[in-house]
């Protein structure tokens, strides 16, 4: 769609030029030259002056973390995220790509997945617990297996979390479907502007889940959850299976200590991931889980829930000193609560904070909520 068309469709034309977006933007705070408001101003103007091509060369469209913090506050209800996403799509078409992080390993891996070859990424699952090939529940594992390899040296264990998730489900008497054929959800491609690849992956996954006869798909990763819940229907219409986030799923079942959790004496703080919080509206489930663990005290950071800030990088692109600064600011904020542990609900947030901490002397542990839950269950 033409930029001009997007400006109308995504309400960008209603921008009051008030600056509340830029004032809220975590990037603008560390990278003063970046301003959502001014970027919109430039895009509108160049579209008006028939210089769309030029506007698609705009560097800043890639600097945005798409964290939706501005979206929450825009008095004109401008659909900024949708605008950026669509503009990136156009930019990608004319070859204006973003700077990938980790020299594009993850992107390449994703690319590779589209080749028909079978993968073997269920070994961990067979060790960790009971799974099956067909059934009611599909457990969508996502990129955890690759991340486990890519970030091994950081000492994070995404697969560990995946295992815990499976164990907990088993504990609930659910033996979910986990499949080798499963492909990346396409989240990163979508936000990198590579929509064709995204569609390819999505079509594949939808087909697979249908094939397994699953009615419910459980996600541990906020990005996968959001992508399925919001963006698959956008391109493929209503899905005929239910999209469930793991934390929503279990938070209903933890009443009166159903998991007989053993005490964990510690003070923790919780970081709302953009995709899970602002974009999927899941704020309370993770808190409910934390609260259910005996002895664990939750101290909120000043910027929580709607006001939470991004972990500094999204979809493996544009990782820079600015990202680091955003991460350190957030970690300091976490430290200020007096907590000794920073709990995240997203494998990527987990990785980014751990990475940031590895090069700092701040005493703070970063843990994945599923992991925390599992250890309280002694599994």
Partner 1 sequence: MNTELRIGVFICHCGINIAGVLDIKGLCEYAKALPNVVTAQANLFTCAETGTSAIKKAVKDNNLNRVVVAACTPRTHEPLFRASCKEAGINPFLFEMVNIREHCSWVHRHNKDAAQAKAGDLIRMAVAKAAFLEPIETFKSKVEPLTLVIGSGIAGMTSALALADQGFEVILIEKEENMGGLLRHLHKIAPANVAASELIEEKIAAIKKNKRIKYFTSAILEEVTGYVGNFSVRFSCGNDSYTCKVGVIIVATGGIPLRPEGLFNYDGKNVITQSELEIKLKKRDIEAKSIVMIQCAGARIPERNYCSRICCMVAIKNCLYLKDIIKDAKIFVLFRDIQAYGVENEALLLKAREAGVRFIRYRPDTPPVVENGKVKIYHPAMGKEIFLPADLVVLSTPIVAHDDAESISRILKVPINGNKFFLEAHAKLSPLDFAFNGIYLCGNARYPATVREATCQALGAASRACITLSHDTIERVGTVASVQEELCSTCFTCIKVCPYNVPYINERGRAEIEPMQCQGCGICVAECPAEAIEFKYISDKQIMAACEALLAS
Partner 2 sequence: MSKDVLVIGGGIAGIQACLDLADQGITVYLLERLPSIGGKMAQLDKTFPTNDCSICIMGPKLFEVERHPNTHLLTYSEVEAVDGEAGNFMVKIKKKARYIDEDKCTACGLCAEKCPVIVPDQFNMGLGTRRAIYKYFPQGIPSVYTIDDSVCRVFQGKKCKICAKICEAEAIDYEQKDIVFELNVGAIIVATGFEVFDPSDIKSYGYGTIADVITALEFERLLNASGPTRGHLERPSSLNIKAEIKQTEKKIKKAKARLKSLEKKNQGSTDEARKTLAALDERLSGLKAKEAALGDVKDIAFVQCVGSRDLRYNAHCCSYGCMHSVKEAIVSTEHGSEIRSTIFFTDMRAYGKEFHEYFLRGGAEYGIQFVRGRVAEINQDDHGRPVIWCEDMDARKVKKLPFDLIVLATACVPSKGIEKLANIMGFDSDQSGFVKTDPNKPTTTSAKGIFVCGCANGPMDIPSSVSMASAAASMAAQTVKGLG
The residue ranges that bind partner 2 (CB under 8 A) are 16-25, 28-29, 32, 35, 37-38, 72-73, 75-77, 302-303, 305-307
Compare residues 7 and 166 and give the one whose CB is closer to partner 1.
7
Helix axes 369-376, 158-171, angle to 10 degrees: 50
- Do 178 and 121 form a contact (C-beta atoms < 8 A)? no
Give yes or no for residue 49 binding partner 1 (CB under 8 A). Answer: yes
Q: Report the residue from 39, 177, 351, 366 that binds partner 1 according to the rule CB under 8 A.
A: 39
Query: Rule CB under 8 A: which of 7-36 touch partner 1?
Result: 8, 13-15, 17, 35
Choose the one of partner 1, partner 2, none that binds residue 155, judging by a C-beta under 5 to 8 angstroms depending on kind: none
Give yes or no for residue 112 binding partner 1 (CB under 8 A). Answer: no
> Cβ 73 to partner 1, closest distance in Å?
18
Compare residues 11 and 29 and give the one whose CB is closer to partner 1.
11
| Rounded Cα gap, residues 209 and 298, in angstroms | 37
Six-digit token pair at 284?
């309370």
Q: Report the residue from 1, 2, 48, 260 that binds partner 1 according to the rule CB under 8 A.
A: 48
Give yes or no for residue 253 binding partner 1 (CB under 8 A). Answer: no
Using a 10 angstrom Cβ sphere, with 0-12 exposed, 13-18 middle and 19 or more buried, the burial of residue 235 is middle
Choose the one of partner 2, partner 1, none that binds residue 22, judging by a C-beta under 5 to 8 angstroms depending on kind: partner 2
Choose the one of partner 1, partner 2, none that binds residue 106, judging by a C-beta under 5 to 8 angstroms depending on kind: none
Choose the one of partner 1, partner 2, none that binds residue 28, judging by a C-beta under 5 to 8 angstroms depending on kind: partner 2
Q: Which residues contact 109 (CB under 8 A, 6 or more apart)?
A: 143, 146, 184
Q: Which residues contact 228 (CB under 8 A, 6 or more apart)?
A: 140, 185, 205, 217, 219, 239, 243
Choose the one of partner 2, partner 1, none that binds residue 269, judging by a C-beta under 5 to 8 angstroms depending on kind: none
Compare residues 12 and 296 and give the one whose CB is closer to partner 1.
12
- Do 309 and 89 form a contact (C-beta atoms < 8 A)? no
Choose the one of partner 2, partner 1, none that binds residue 45, judging by a C-beta under 5 to 8 angstroms depending on kind: partner 1
Q: Report the residue from 29, 42, 73, 130 that binds partner 1 according to the rule CB under 8 A.
A: 42
Quick count: other Cβ atoms within 10 Å of Cβ 152?
A: 11
Give yes or no for residue 54 binding partner 1 (CB under 8 A). Answer: no
Q: Report the residue from 38, 119, 341, 375 that binds partner 1 according to the rule CB under 8 A.
A: 38
Choose the one of partner 1, partner 2, none that binds residue 48, judging by a C-beta under 5 to 8 angstroms depending on kind: partner 1
Compare residues 32 and 95 and give the one whose CB is closer to partner 2.
32
> Cβ 14 to partner 1, closest distance in Å?
5
> Cβ 32 to partner 2, closest distance in Å?
5
Compare residues 167 and 305 and give the one whose CB is closer to partner 2.
305
Q: Report the residue from 3, 31, 44, 68 that binds partner 1 according to the rule CB under 8 A.
A: 44
Nearest to residue 246, comparing CAs of 156, 339, 144? 144
Compare residues 17 and 133 and give the one whose CB is closer to partner 2.
17
Query: Rule CB under 8 A: which of 167-196 touch partner 1?
Result: none
Six-digit token pair at 185?
């959800």
| Rounded Cα gap, residues 365 and 354, in angstroms | 8
What is the phi/psi pair of residue 318, to 5°?
A: 55, 35
> Cβ 13 to partner 1, closest distance in Å?
6
Binding site for partner 1 (CB under 8 A): 8, 13-15, 17, 35, 37-42, 44-45, 48-49
């Amino acid at each position: 769609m033409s930029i001009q068309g997007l400006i109308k469709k995504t309400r960008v034309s209603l921008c009051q030029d008030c600056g509340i977006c830029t004032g809220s933007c975590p990037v603008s705070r560390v990278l003063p030259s970046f301003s959502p408001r001014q970027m919109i101003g430039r895009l509108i103007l160049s579209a008006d002056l028939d210089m769309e091509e030029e506007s698609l060369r705009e560097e800043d469209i890639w600097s945005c973390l798409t964290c939706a913090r501005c979206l929450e506050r825009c008095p004109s209800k401008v659909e900024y995220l949708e605008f950026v996403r669509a503009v990136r799509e156009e930019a990608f078409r004319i070859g204006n790509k973003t700077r990938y992080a980790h020299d594009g390993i993850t992107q390449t891996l994703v690319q590779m997945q589209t080749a028909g070859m079978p993968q073997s990424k269920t070994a961990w699952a067979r060790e960790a617990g009971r799974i099956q090939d067909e059934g009611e529940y599909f457990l969508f594992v996502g990129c955890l297996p690759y991340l486990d390899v890519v970030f091994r040296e950081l000492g994070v264990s995404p697969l560990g979390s995946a295992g815990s998730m499976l164990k907990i489900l088993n504990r609930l008497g659910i033996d979910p479907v986990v499949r080798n054929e499963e492909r990346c959800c396409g989240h990163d491609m979508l936000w990198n502007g590579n929509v064709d690849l995204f569609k390819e992956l999505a079509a594949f996954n939808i087909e697979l889940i249908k094939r397994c006869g699953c009615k419910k798909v459980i996600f541990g990763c906020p990005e996968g959850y959001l992508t399925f819940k919001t963006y698959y229907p956008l391109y493929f219409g209503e899905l005929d299976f239910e999209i469930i986030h793991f934390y929503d799923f279990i938070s209903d079942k933890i009443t009166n200590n159903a998991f007989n959790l053993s005490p964990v004496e510690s003070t923790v703080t919780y970081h709302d991931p953009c995709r899970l919080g602002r974009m999927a509206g899941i704020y309370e489930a993770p808190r409910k889980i934390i609260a259910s663990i005996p002895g664990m005290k939750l101290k909120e950071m000043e910027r929580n829930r709607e006001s939470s800030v991004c972990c500094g990088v999204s979809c493996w692109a544009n990782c820079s000193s600015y990202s680091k600064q955003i991460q350190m600011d957030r970690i300091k904020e976490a430290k200020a609560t007096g907590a000794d542990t920073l709990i995240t609900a997203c494998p990527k947030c987990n990785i980014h904070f751990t990475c940031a901490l590895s090069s700092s002397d701040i005493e703070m542990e970063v843990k994945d909520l599923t992991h925390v839950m599992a250890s309280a269950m002694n599994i």
